[in-house]
Amino acid sequence: MKHIVVPIDFSKESLNGLRLAIIFANRFGSDIQMVHVQKFPSEYTPGQQEEDRRNKEKKFMELVEEYSPKMLESANLTYILKKGKVYSEVVNQAQAFEDSAIICSTHGASGFEEFFIGSNAFRIISATDRPVITIRHGSMPRDIQKIVLPIDITTDTRQKVPVTADIAKAFDAEIHVVAVASSQSDEIDLKLNAYSRQVTTYLKNREVRFQTSSLRGDNITNITIEYALDVNADLISIMTEQNFSFSDFVLGSQAQQMLSKSPIPVLSVTPKEIFIMGSFNVQGGGY
């Protein structure tokens, strides 16, 4: 997390992404780059487009002046204006850095720019192999003290553990390892117990504080969020799953549910085996 990319549409909601990014940047010593992808109505003339660009640059300079003092002196807050598809330009910018993450709001501006954060937040997550942290409106934590780490029976559920442990180490946070399932059987219990032991052994070796729990319920998303609220968690860590759409990549249903419902910021990690040169295999998934 040497570089954090933050998509900005200048709405107060998207600025929540910037504020959360600063919290992480100050723990990791990261630089932050704000990204705005310009999208012009068809009737805009070249002169209007240039005027819009100057206005956006002025807004960015005001944000740099306001928020730079909130960052470590060694860190930089910069911005870039781009043109193209919003989600792909944000992802490309993150890929330009060797060690990067994306932090953004799941809500954005209204009007013709409403596409910017809202629908594109899911596409950004689906199209990158970098960690993405999303925040909904009104859910800004002051610090990261507790992280909920749901573990299910999917083979890739443990891939989110290293980056989650890195965050916990940076914040000296406690991880709640929660074995989740929508049903109960001996086979499910054996697999969940085995996965949980592997995770807790890893956390012990990394000297990360943790607790363990087990949850059963028809809707894994709902029971995970309820648990996170009960323990006053500041972050939920999930794996994403992707499926093909006839027009583009879309996020799988479980991840969409979590990102849409969670009042707590969500860390999304893409399984490595399904991210191949910018393409995805059709695969189900869980947390």
pLDDT at residue 23 in the model: 96
SS3 label, residue 106: coil
Is the pLDDT score of 162 beyond 80? yes
CA 79, CA 6: separation in Å to the nearest integer? Answer: 9
Residue 134's pLDDT band (cuts 50, 70, 90): very high
Lowest mean per-residue pLDDT among 26-35, 104-113, 260-269: 104-113
Is the pLDDT score of 117 beyond 90? no
**Mean pLDDT to the nearest integer, 106-130:** 66
Count the neighbouring beta carbons within 10 Å of the beta carbon of residue 216.
14
CA 132, CA 126: separation in Å to the nearest integer? Answer: 10
| Contact assessment for residue 193 and residue 177, using Cβ atoms and an 8 Å cutoff | no
Q: Which residues pair with 211 in a beta bridge?
A: 176
pLDDT at residue 105 in the model: 87
Give residue-wise pLDDT tens across range 213-244. Answer: 999 998 889 999 999 999 999 999 998 864 44
Is the pLDDT score of 7 beyond 90? yes
pLDDT at residue 113 in the model: 42
CATH topology of domain 3-135: Rossmann fold (3.40.50)
List of residues 6+ apart from 67 with CB closer than 8 A: 18, 19, 22, 77
105 versus 120: the higher-pLDDT residue is 105
pLDDT at residue 247 in the model: 39
- Cα pseudo-dihedral 15, 21, 25, 26, rounded to 10: 70
Residue percentage of the chain with pLDDT more than 70: 84
List of residues 6+ apart from 224 with CB closer than 8 A: 148, 150, 178, 180, 215, 236, 258, 287
User: Residue 254 corresponds to which tokens in the numbers above?
Assistant: 């479980």
pLDDT at residue 252 in the model: 55
The residues spanned by each domain of the chain are 3-135, 146-280
Domain 146-280: give its CATH superfamily.
HUPs (3.40.50.620)
Give residue-wise pLDDT tens across range 61-104. Answer: 999 999 999 998 888 999 999 988 888 999 999 999 989 999 99
Residue 245's pLDDT band (cuts 50, 70, 90): very low
**Mean pLDDT to the nearest integer, 16-21:** 94
User: Residue 142 corresponds to which tokens in the numbers above?
Assistant: 């002051």
Residue 136's pLDDT band (cuts 50, 70, 90): confident
pLDDT at residue 273 in the model: 57
CA 144, CA 19: separation in Å to the nearest integer? Answer: 13
Widest distance between CA atoms in the chain? 68
7 versus 284: the higher-pLDDT residue is 7
273 versus 250: the higher-pLDDT residue is 273
23 versus 284: the higher-pLDDT residue is 23
Is the pLDDT score of 283 beyond 60? no
Is the pLDDT score of 281 beyond 70? no
